[in-house]
Amino acid sequence: MRRTLLMSVWLALFALTATKNTGARADAIVIGVPAWPSAQVTAHIIDGVLKERFGLETELRERGTMTILSDIGRGEIEIHPEVWLPNLSAMVEKLSVQEKVLTLSPNGVAATQNICATSATLAATDITAVTDLAKPEMAAQFDSDGDGKGEMWIGAPSWSSTEIERIRAHSYGYDRTMTLLEMPEEVAMAAVDAAVALGKPIVFYCYGPHHVFELHQIAKLEEPPHDPARWTIVSRAEDNNWLEKSRADTAWDASEFRIAYASSLAAERPEVAAFLAAIDLEPADVTAMSYAVEVEGKTAGEVAKDWLAANADRIGEWTK
């Protein structure tokens, strides 16, 4: 079946995406690097400060966000640059409260998680709410490969939110009308760019702070307010019937993200623990990081180097 240009963007970019693995050094402070731009840049910022200000050996290790937390619990990684809540609340509670091996920074960045569409999509399709996606006639408007089902990105395979978005799709019923795509973020953002350029409708998981809200006219689809009684999350790792036993048919709860680190650093490297606890990023910092990586095409290391040079005074406050 002939695919349209938009679907080709999804698939071709996905095929070109690759991950890197680095070997560990026993004497290094290991910093986890998750698979999204702001976390990657923050990891490199922490790496730069530990090297330049403290003279420490470091190791940047690319892993999925849940793997990073698990590795902190096993003593194999010391730092997670961006832990999202409530996505990882259960795992954080286990590691921080029960096992006492994880510490969260006191400083968080307020965040949002939604299903979004371009403003042009709303005008062209009359979609207004997440529940509209469960209607076959609405979903068909997002069909780019002719199979009768729409397509939508729900996150990268290694993100904690992606599994929850699959639960949400099942709870709302649009997993039966939409093909749920799990692909790296750069693929999704390129597809959004292509949809805007071609005037094609598109719907996708979105989070903020993020540059996409400044780059394009993006609207969040309506949902019932968050209701804890209607959110039951069973992870894939917990139960083979996780999807059937889960429910999440209201909006996300208020979200935020924080730096997390091994509690052992407080005794072993108190200056590092103090620095990590002092880091206080602003939403504008995070938006600029994602823009520089995904729009300007800079590497996370390059963005971090520029950020460190431009924010020497803030770094000085965090390390004094």
What rounded mean pLDDT belongs to the chain?
Answer: 93
Would you say residue 14 has pLDDT above 60? no
Rounded to a whole number of angstroms, the CA Rg of the chain reads 20
Would you say residue 68 has pLDDT above 60? yes
The model's confidence at residue 8, banded by pLDDT at 50, 70 and 90, is: low
Judge contact between 278 and 140, C-beta under 8 A. Answer: no
- For residue 163, the number of C-alpha atoms closer than 13 Å in the C-beta half-sphere is 19
Would you say residue 20 has pLDDT above 90? no
Token pair belonging to 299: 């590497």
The model's confidence at residue 256, banded by pLDDT at 50, 70 and 90, is: very high
Position 27 scores a pLDDT of: 79
Position 156 scores a pLDDT of: 96
Would you say residue 6 has pLDDT above 90? no
Q: What is the pLDDT of residues 76-123, one digit of tens each?
A: 999 999 999 999 999 999 999 999 999 999 999 999 999 999 999 999
How many C-beta atoms surround the C-beta of residue 291 within 10 A?
19
Domains and CATH numbers, the chain: 5-15+111-248 (3.40.190.100), 18-110+257-319 (3.40.190.10)
Would you say residue 17 has pLDDT above 50? no
Residue 213, helix vs strand vs coil: helix
Q: How confident is the model over 287-299, as a mean pLDDT?
A: 96
Position 151 scores a pLDDT of: 98
The model's confidence at residue 37, banded by pLDDT at 50, 70 and 90, is: very high
The model's confidence at residue 3, banded by pLDDT at 50, 70 and 90, is: very low
Judge contact between 6 and 150, C-beta under 8 A. Answer: no
